[in-house]
């Protein structure tokens, strides 16, 4: 049989007592400080204000871009219309009949028999005849009427009125006309 020594029994309680005393001495109650809520609330309010201001600025910039785009589109439409008008005027100026009229006004006459030069050897092809003022070209006046499909004849449809219906309409119209002065007098 084994026997435990008395010194071992004495040591164990001492170690336990020493650990217990250290544990009691090391525990310190916490000091309760109230946490300040002002910084957190001010941070949240600042974030909300910055978010709203940011959204307003973003919306404003989008609106400005929209107005700019609309004005540019209207300007592009205007420029396109001006371009079309200038092209139409250019086509009128290039019209062969108009060119012939202007040439005739400044004294030009059409060539009677043109001649051609061969550049390789300098020979003249054709029988050249000088132009004369008497050989003026007859220029036909322009027709300014619209084509038929742009100026169609108006279509008039006549519907005969039946006599019974005309009488009913007439009598109803007479009733309305007779009732109108009475209403006006009663409103006063």
CA distances from 120 to 54, 124, 146 (A): 80, 11, 51
Candidates 136, 139, 131, 135; CA nearest to 96 is: 139
DSSP class of residue 150 equals T
Q: 29 or 74: which carries more pLDDT confidence? A: 74
Rg (alpha carbons) of the chain, rounded to whole number: 55
Residues 92, 102: contact at Cβ < 8 Å?
Answer: no
Domain membership of residue 37 (yes or no) is: no
* pLDDT confidence band for 111 (50 / 70 / 90): confident
- Averaged pLDDT for residues 30-34: 79
Residue 98 has a pLDDT of 86
pTM for this structure? 0.39
Phi (first) and psi of residue 125, to 5 degrees:
-105, 130
How do residues 41-65 score in pLDDT, each as one tens digit?
Answer: 999 999 999 999 999 999 999 999 9
Q: Which two tokens stand for residue 117?
A: 């030069």
136 lies in a domain?
A: no
Domain assignment present for residue 54? The answer is: yes
Do the domain assignments include residue 131? Answer: no
What are the tokens at 186? 């009663």
Residue 171 domain-assigned? no
Residue % of the chain over a pLDDT of 70: 72
Residue-range definition of the domain harbouring residue 121: 44-125
Specify whether the CB–CB gap between 136 and 107 falls below 8 A: no
The answer to whether residue 103 sits within a structural domain is: yes
Q: Is position 25 within any domain?
A: no
Q: Name which residue leads in pLDDT, 69 or 152.
A: 69
Report whether 112 contacts 132 (CB < 8 A): yes
Distance between CA 12 and CA 145 in Å, rounded?
131
Q: What is the Cα–Cα distance from 44 to 155, expressed in whole angstroms?
A: 75
Q: How many other C-beta atoms are found inside a 10 Å radius of the C-beta of residue 131?
A: 14
Q: How many CB atoms lie within 10 A of CB 100?
A: 15
Q: How many domains does the chain have?
A: 1
Q: Is residue 11 part of a domain?
A: no
Long-range contacts of 87-94 (CB under 8 A, 24+ apart): none
């Amino acid at each position: 049989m084994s026997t435990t020594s008395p010194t071992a029994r004495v040591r164990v309680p001492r170690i336990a007592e020493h650990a217990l005393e250290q544990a009691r001495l090391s525990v310190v109650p916490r000091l309760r400080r109230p946490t300040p809520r002002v910084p957190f609330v001010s941070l949240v309010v600042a974030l909300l204000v910055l978010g709203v201001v940011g959204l307003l600025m973003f919306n404003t910039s989008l609106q400005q871009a929209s107005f700019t785009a609309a004005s540019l589109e209207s300007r592009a439409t205007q420029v396109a219309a001006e371009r079309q008008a200038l092209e139409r005027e250019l086509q009128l100026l290039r019209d062969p009949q108009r060119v012939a009229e202007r040439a005739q006004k400044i004294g030009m006459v059409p060539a009677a028999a043109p001649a051609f030069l061969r550049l390789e050897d300098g020979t003249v092809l054709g029988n050249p005849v000088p132009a004369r003022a008497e050989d003026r070209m007859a220029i036909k006046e322009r027709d300014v009427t619209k084509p038929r499909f742009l100026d169609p004849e108006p279509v008039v449809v006549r519907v005969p009125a039946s006599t019974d219906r005309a009488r009913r309409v007439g009598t109803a119209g007479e009733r309305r006309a007779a009732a109108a002065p009475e209403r006006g007098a009663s409103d006063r």
